[in-house]
Structure 1
């Protein structure tokens, strides 16, 4: 049975799969970026939890990351559309069907990356904070 942390990350990945861009999880950047764009979810770091004792609970602010990449002549517009679609998907349900207390993305910091012999890439890493509580840190 998957841990609560894995269940939450799988639910976040499922939200990304519903978007027009290709969504992967934990993969390396492929040699070619699909026309639709590419999203790669990185599991990230749960960080140090805050602990309450009665009842015992570990409260995490888990920082996952989404790498967003587009390529082509319309990369600025495509990137903007992709980022907006991520925001809309997260805002539609800030609890991932009750799995989290709150889900919130930070603003992207886009960069243009030159590619020899091809159109430049526009990419950004988007931090996504997943707030959740669990009874055992090994479950999270």
Structure 2
């Protein structure tokens, strides 16, 4: 049986995969080719130190996962990147509790970086921190 952490991360990946034409990888390495609509890689991140309430013991996590957003284009790289980040925000805003699996999902602003690629259209990438607020009776998350 998966842990609550794994269940929530899987649900987040499933939610992000509803963005059309943009593959969502989970913890993979950056592939050699980036689809024209972009690519997202969800990193598990860290659950951090939980807060604890007693009777019954409940562990409250603010798990910080990271979503890498990557686009490659010779002409409209900035607008494609911006549109993809906006779509991430919109799908998360539509389901802030991942169908009741967690208390709240909060994406933070992306920190974009331009990456020149020799002999190809340059990449624009950024990491969107996504904070997952959830509670569980399992101290391991």
User: Normalization by structure 2: what TM-score?
Assistant: 0.96
Mapped partners of 2:57, 2:23: distance in 1: 40
TM score, norm. by length of structure 1:
0.97
Alignment of 1:61 onto 2:62: yes
CA distance in 2, matches of 1:135, 1:15: 25
Equivalent residues, number: 139
> How far does residue 60 in structure 1 lie from its aligned partner after superposition?
0.2
- After TM superposition, where is structure 1 displaced by more than 4 Å over at least 4 residues in a row? none
1:82-93 to 2 correspondence within 5 Å? Answer: 82-93=84-95
1:46 Cα offset (Å): 0.1
Map of 1:14 onto structure 2: 14
Distance 1:75 1:110 in 2: 11
Question: Which residues of structure 1 form unaligned runs of 5+?
Answer: none
Q: CA RMSD in A?
A: 0.7
1:137 aligns to what?
139
Partner of 2:25: 24
| SS of match in other structure, 2:78 | helix
Measure how far apart 1:36 and its partner are: 1.3
Unaligned runs of 5+ in 2: none
Structure 1: distance between partners of 2:81 and 2:62: 27
